[in-house]
Amino acid sequence: MSAQNILTIEESTPRVTKIQLRPDGSCELISMDSVDGGTRSIFDPPLLMCANTLMSNAPLRSESSMQTELIESGTARDQGTATRTISIDGMARITTALGTFDCVVVTTHFIGALGKAKIDTQMTIWIAPHIGSIAEKYRQKITILGLFTKNSERFIEKLPQEN
């Protein structure tokens, strides 16, 4: 793949994600920076993020080795495995500030099992045909040394645009 097929996404949360577009229309995760934690997670081979087609009740699973390093120095921290599953979970009706919509529900589940930590992230996205993403629910649990746990959740809905 050439460098022009690599996208860098700087998100509103302190995270920078690098994905690579493949000729078949799918994309894969190369790395993810946690800016507030000062770490970079590298996936080798890249972890499949989305396929060119995804069918209902046919989850797509991808596994890769994962290594974390300090962003500033490049010093290796932990290594382990990463697993990402994406599935279409059917249709659901959701009401947001934009109105009520019948949506396709897509769920992604990421597990990063490192030497000292386990990261378990699940994201559900409600997608309305001909409109796009309407809402997103994000849940993450990080466990360090089996003793310390950090949980976070957020629900984001698309708001009406002012003209």
106-115 residue pLDDT tens: 999 999 998 8
Give dist(CA 52, CA 59) in Å, integer: 13
pLDDT at 163: 47
Question: Average pLDDT of 111-127?
Answer: 91
Give dist(CA 14, CA 32) in Å, integer: 11
Instruction: Determine the residue type at 150.
Output: K
CA-CA distances (angstroms) from residue 140 to 81, 120, 143?
A: 17, 6, 10
Q: Quickly state the pLDDT bin for 11 (edges 50, 70, 90).
A: low
Pairing of strands 99-114, 117-128: antiparallel
- Phi-psi map region of 147: left, alpha, beta (phi>0 left; psi -120 to 50 alpha): alpha
CB-CB contact of 58 with 87 (8 Å): yes
User: Is the per-residue pLDDT at 32 higher than 80?
Assistant: yes
How far from the centroid of its chain's Cα atoms is residue 107's Cα?
10
User: Is the per-residue pLDDT at 61 higher than 60?
Assistant: yes
Please provide the DSSP assignment of 95-130 as one string: EETTEEEEEEEEEEEEEEEESSEEEEEEEEEEEETT
The sign one gets for the Cα dihedral 77, 118, 15, 3 is positive
